[in-house]
Amino acid sequence: MLDFAAARRMMVDCQVRTSDVTNLRLIAAMLAVPRERFVPKASAELSYLDADLPVEEGGARRLLKPMVLAKLLQAAEIGETDRVLDVGCATGYSAAVIGQLASSVVALEQDAALARLAEDNLQALGVRNATVATGSLVEGWPAGAPYDVILLDGAVEAVPKALLRQLKDGGRLVGVVGRSPVSKAMLFRSSGANGWPIFDAAAPALPGFAVPPAFVF
C-alpha cells in the first residue's frame, strides 16, 4: 500500500516547491491535508500525481493540479484574518487547504452530491472554519460577501462581474482564465475588472462559465 504521507511530501518537494512556491504557511497546509481523502477510493494511489484528478467516477469535475492550486493560493496572499470564497470546491480539498490559511472559507458547489461529499470530508478532518454552500457558481455566494479572496477552482472563459462585486476593497480573485490551450492564471483586484497574468496554466473547466459565441453577420 502506498505511503500517503511520503507521497504528500514528495508532491510538495517535487511539484510545489520547484514551482517557486515559497510561502511556508501554504507549504505546511499542503503537507497537512490528505489529498487522497478527496478522490474516489479506487483512485487514492493516484492522489499525488502531477495531474488534475477526477473526483467522481465518470464525472467531468477534477481537483486542480497541486502546482496550479499552490501558485494560485500563493498569489492570493491569504492572511490569517481573511474570509475566502472557494468557487467550485468539488469534494473540498482546496477548501481544506484554505482552511489552514484563512479565518474562514465558504466552499461553494452547485452539484449537490459533490457538496455533500465536501461537507463529509471537511467534517471528518475537523475543518471547523469551512462552510459548504450549494448554489450557482457563476453567481457566487453574496450572503457571505464581501470576501478578502475568491478562488476559482477551475478554468473559466470570463470572470463574471457578479463575483468581482463580492470582493472587499483591496480583495483578490485568482483563477485560470481563457480557453485551453490559450489560458493563463490571472489575478484580479476589486478596484477594477482588469486582471494581471500570473503564469501560463491549464485547468479543467468549471461549469457555467462558457462565453456564448458571438453572432457573426
pLDDT of residue 194: 79
Question: Average pLDDT of the chain?
Answer: 94
- What ranges make up the beta strands (E) of the chain? 53-54, 62-63, 83-87, 104-109, 130-134, 147-156, 167-179, 182-189, 195-200
Q: Does residue 2 or residue 97 have the better pLDDT? A: 97
Q: How far apart are CA 46 and CA 137, in angstroms?
A: 27
Domain ranges, residue 90 = 4-200
Host H or E run for residue 50: none
Residue 34 has pLDDT above 90, yes or no: yes
Is residue 211 a part of any domain in this protein? Answer: no
Is residue 152 a part of any domain in this protein? Answer: yes
Task: Determine the distance from the C-alpha atom of residue 22 to the mean position of all C-alpha atoms in its chain, rounded to a whole number.
Answer: 18
Is residue 213 a part of any domain in this protein? Answer: no
Least confident of 43-57, 80-94, 99-113: 43-57
Number of domains in the chain: 1
Return the CATH number at 190.
3.40.50.150
What average pLDDT score do residues 28-37 get?
98
pLDDT of residue 193: 66
Least confident of 57-71, 112-126, 141-155: 57-71
Other C-beta atoms closer than 10 Å to the C-beta of 53 total: 24
Torsion of CA 32, 33, 37, 39, to 10 degrees: -130
Q: Are 34 and 6 spatial neighbours (Cβ–Cβ below 8 Å)?
A: no
Is residue 95 a part of any domain in this protein? Answer: yes
Is residue 205 a part of any domain in this protein? Answer: no
Is residue 206 a part of any domain in this protein? Answer: no
pLDDT of residue 126: 97
pLDDT of residue 211: 79
Is residue 19 a part of any domain in this protein? Answer: yes
Is residue 172 a part of any domain in this protein? Answer: yes
Q: Give the 3-state secondary structure of residue 122.
A: helix
pLDDT of residue 1: 77
